Amino acid sequence: MSTQLFGEKVPRVEDQRFLRGQGRYVDDVLVDTPSATLHAAVLRSPHAHARILDIDVSDVIDMDGVHLVWTHEDLAGAMAEPLPLLIPHPALTHGRTQYTLAKDTVNYVGEAVAFVVADDRYLAEDALGRISVSYEPLPAVVGIESARAAENLVHDDVPGNVAARMEQNVGDAPTAIDAAPHVLELDLSIERSAAMPLEGRGTVARWDHDTSRLQVWTSTQASTGVRAAVAAKLELDLGQVDVICPDTGGGFGVKINHPWPEDLLVTRAAQVTGQAVKFTEDRREHFISAAHERAQEHHIRVGFDDQGRVQGLDVEFWHDNGAYTPYGLIVPIITSTQLLGPYKPANYRVRFDSLYTNTVIVTPYRGAGRPQGCFAMERTIDAIAAHLGLDRTAVRAANLIQPDEFPYDQGLIFQDGRPLIYDSGDYPAMLEKIRKLIGWDEFEQFKAEAEAEGRRVGIGLGCYVEGTGVGPYEGAHVHVETSGKVKVATGLTTQGQGHQTAFAQVVADTLDVPMEDVEVVTGDTRRMSYSVGTFASRAAVMSGSAMHLAALRAKEKALRLAADALEADEADLKMVDGSVQVKGSPSNSIALGTLAVLSNPLRYAFDKASQAATQFSVGDQDKPPVDEDDEPGLEGRDFYSPNRSTFASGMHAAIVETDPETAEIKILRYAIVHDCGRMINPMIVEGQIHGGMAQGIGGALYERMAYDDSGQLLNASFMDFLMPYVTEIPGEIDVDHLETPSPLNPLGIKGAGEAGVIPVSAAIAAAVENAEGFSITSMPISPAELYDLRQRHAEH
């Protein structure tokens, strides 16, 4: 061994299982016999806004095979209270969360109104059809314009539909803009979209009467969060609830919300019926009752000098937070604090209103507020370049933070009340790399040749900086078995990011054991009960660091035990390929598995009694060398808790061609330069970037939630909601890496999971604009919209 795995393109160990169809998802979990498991279904509001006058369940109560039917009236105690507001903020003056089952009013199409548990899903759905709800429809507030007009209110007691209003100032932007030689104003918007994991939400629960324990299997990004929420709502001790997260078919942010009403209803129903109860979301339910994001409108004023250096930037934006605010202000706060990207405007003011609308709730979706911020900032830089007639990369270069300016304090305060400080990076080097990779300097000639053939082509750039690896903590437990295999547990859940591989690389390196001997367990509160969750591109930084620290503890102990067993000085020992060796004397060694036996007095006694102890060949040991004041077992446990985020960065460049007749937009080339610090596994990082970029193309060209004015979601199916297929993703994506290690964590890592999605709309909008010669200010953009823009532009 002793070959370092950190930084190697190790193939993902989990893929064999997935590719062979051996993944085991929540819907595959068999708690009891199939017939003993009951199935739940949820009656959802057909109205975007209505008063509930009456709910009649009398036709359902005595239905054969129906075990229970609940409305809000049937819930008691904490279950009858609104769901928790997960991330409060002082500026959130009018935060609202929904009830588990709607009480008095419904505020979006899809809000849970009644809940049925039956022998099977068919019966449960039939029963829903027999529940009669009498509604008094109310005017719906749909979209930012309608929310701002405030002719109607989503919540009677929230004036102007404003959940929160927030402002931050760095210097004096309005004065600087007024004094600047050039001033521009822009209006820029991004539409509502959502994460579409192939596996929707799902939960199975079983209550054990004998032990008064609840077991919950759920598809989540935060098993410990679900555990805490379920325990609180069902008024149980944390120790009474186990949450197990089996394989998860994607999350992309939507599965960090906890608890969903369905989680609480299913777990409570399991308690009441004494049988296992299952809920599996269908696709339509995912569209209308999970969560969305992105919808924002931005007004920008920018003042700049002749070189395009920003003197003052004033951003005002309006964020559509949907009907409730379970995630507080996290999305608009991220936009407002990370919009600046790699640039350093001399003065910055940002203000936003977070607005209620009668639409699905908003929670962070991969990128979380950054695609919008990046779009706003990058479009502004492009507009400056166009105004001054300068090259777009030159204006960027003029505004970049320089490598010797790190740590760089943007002067802004993040959600947690702490200053936002960039830790490391090299943005000028990155700009040079992306220029080369896409062929920026050669493009003008290509464009001229293409135009001579009647083709329209354009090039665009999108640059971002992303705070990753947020705290407060993440832990790991590393346990060496007597076989020498290493079991590692993290409380984090995994949705396809390749954690089993990457974390095994970290532990295998630290302990110098073969990687195939390391098994990583995720998302099981029985194995690791303290954890925060997988979101905000934090797993590699947080859990990767915790894994390393925990493995170091196990290593320290192994060296201590081995020193005693080998009668050597600890300083003369080293770990080699699953054993501890005296330096320079390879035959004088002891296997880690043997040390695990020695560390456990009882196992040692058994092995010695059965002569198996002779395998130790370490002299005649009368007692295991575990010290009296040492803990038994060969293991290490540690938590990593940084005091601030580490900032990854990247630049994307796109070359597009737009069809002169049909206005179809085709991506000809796509290039990415990316810096996520030191990479544990560059192949996984590239996979993450490719996946994120594909999702970004969806956001740029296809995906939007098409609500009508009454709040009905018109495209709530995969027949109607467009997503990019492999045919829409460029065949070749050039990815280059820059590794500026983070000084904040022991391995120098920054996050990578969301990065790919962030600048895609900005880069593609810029490329389309360059091809067409008029401004692109709103994304996504469809061929029909581009066609209309052409017409309007031609009329002027």
Instruction: Write out the residues near ligand MCN by the rule CB under 6 A.
Output: 197, 250-253, 366, 495-499, 502, 534-541, 676-681, 684-685, 688, 691, 749-754
In angstroms, the Cα distances linking 609 to 363, 481, 597 are 59, 20, 13
Q: If you write DSSP's letter for every residue of 522-540 in order, what string do you get?
A: ESBTTT------S-TT-HH
Round to whole Å and give the CA distance between 49 and 532.
34
CB atoms within 10 A of CB 633: 15
Round to whole Å and give the CA distance between 618 and 320.
68
Q: Cβ of residue 121: shortest distance to ligand MCN, in angstroms? A: 25
Q: Which is nearer to ligand MCN, 197 or 332 (CB)?
A: 197
Q: Which is nearer to ligand MCN, 42 or 705 (CB)?
A: 705
Q: Cβ of residue 767: shortest distance to ligand MCN, in angstroms? A: 25
Round to whole Å and give the CA distance between 153 and 159.
7
CB 458 within 8 Å of CB 774: no
DSSP-derived 3-state class of residue 41: strand
Q: Cβ of residue 682: shortest distance to ligand MCN, in angstroms? A: 7
CB 768 within 8 Å of CB 781: yes
Q: Cβ of residue 579: shortest distance to ligand MCN, in angstroms? A: 27
Q: Which is nearer to ligand MCN, 17 or 51 (CB)?
A: 17
Q: Cβ of residue 572: shortest distance to ligand MCN, in angstroms? A: 34
Q: Cβ of residue 777: shortest distance to ligand MCN, in angstroms? A: 27
CA atoms within 13 A on the CB side of 570: 7
Q: Which is nearer to ligand MCN, 24 or 51 (CB)?
A: 24
Q: If you write DSSP's letter for every residue of 687-734 in order, what string do you get?
A: HHHHHHHHHHHIIIII----B-TTS-BTT-STTTS----GGGS-S-EE
Q: Cβ of residue 496: shortest distance to ligand MCN, in angstroms? A: 3
Largest CA distance in the chain: 96
Radius of gyration of the chain (CA): 28
Q: Cβ of residue 491: shortest distance to ligand MCN, in angstroms? A: 13
Round to whole Å and give the CA distance between 400 and 390.
16
CB 39 within 8 Å of CB 278: yes
The residue written with tokens 């992303």 in the block is: 466
CB 539 within 8 Å of CB 492: yes
Q: Which is nearer to ligand MCN, 364 or 636 (CB)?
A: 364
Nearest by Cα to 741 from 647, 613, 618? 647
DSSP-derived 3-state class of residue 187: strand
Q: Which is nearer to ligand MCN, 23 or 783 (CB)?
A: 23
Q: Cβ of residue 406: shortest distance to ligand MCN, in angstroms? A: 18
Q: Cβ of residue 417: shortest distance to ligand MCN, in angstroms? A: 22
Q: Cβ of residue 332: shortest distance to ligand MCN, in angstroms? A: 18
Question: In the sheet that 573-576 helps form, which strands lie side by side, from edge to edge?
Answer: 573-576, 579-582, 585-591
Q: Cβ of residue 1: shortest distance to ligand MCN, in angstroms? A: 20
CB 347 within 8 Å of CB 313: yes
CA atoms within 13 A on the CB side of 732: 7
* Residue with the shortest CB distance to ligand MCN: 753
Q: Cβ of residue 539: shortest distance to ligand MCN, in angstroms? A: 3
Which element (helix H / strand E) includes 164? strand 162-170
DSSP-derived 3-state class of residue 20: coil
The DSSP call for residue 511 is H
Q: Which is nearer to ligand MCN, 252 or 616 (CB)?
A: 252
490 has which bridge partners?
476, 522
Q: Which is nearer to ligand MCN, 42 or 684 (CB)?
A: 684
* Structure tokens given for 125: 């759905």
CB atoms within 10 A of CB 606: 13
Q: Cβ of residue 679: shortest distance to ligand MCN, in angstroms? A: 4
Q: If you write DSSP's letter for every residue of 340-373 in order, what string do you get?
A: TTTB--SSEEEEEEEE--SS--B---TTTTHHHH
Q: Which is nearer to ligand MCN, 574 or 678 (CB)?
A: 678
Phi first, then psi: give them for residue 583, nearest 5 degrees: -55, 130
Rounded-to-10 torsion of CA 718, 722, 723, 729: 140
Q: Which is nearer to ligand MCN, 281 or 297 (CB)?
A: 281
Q: Which is nearer to ligand MCN, 636 or 691 (CB)?
A: 691
Q: Which is nearer to ligand MCN, 168 or 501 (CB)?
A: 501
Q: Which is nearer to ligand MCN, 69 or 676 (CB)?
A: 676
Q: Cβ of residue 573: shortest distance to ligand MCN, in angstroms? A: 30
Q: Which is nearer to ligand MCN, 201 or 435 (CB)?
A: 201
Q: Which is nearer to ligand MCN, 563 or 749 (CB)?
A: 749
Rounded-to-10 torsion of CA 353, 356, 362, 363: 60
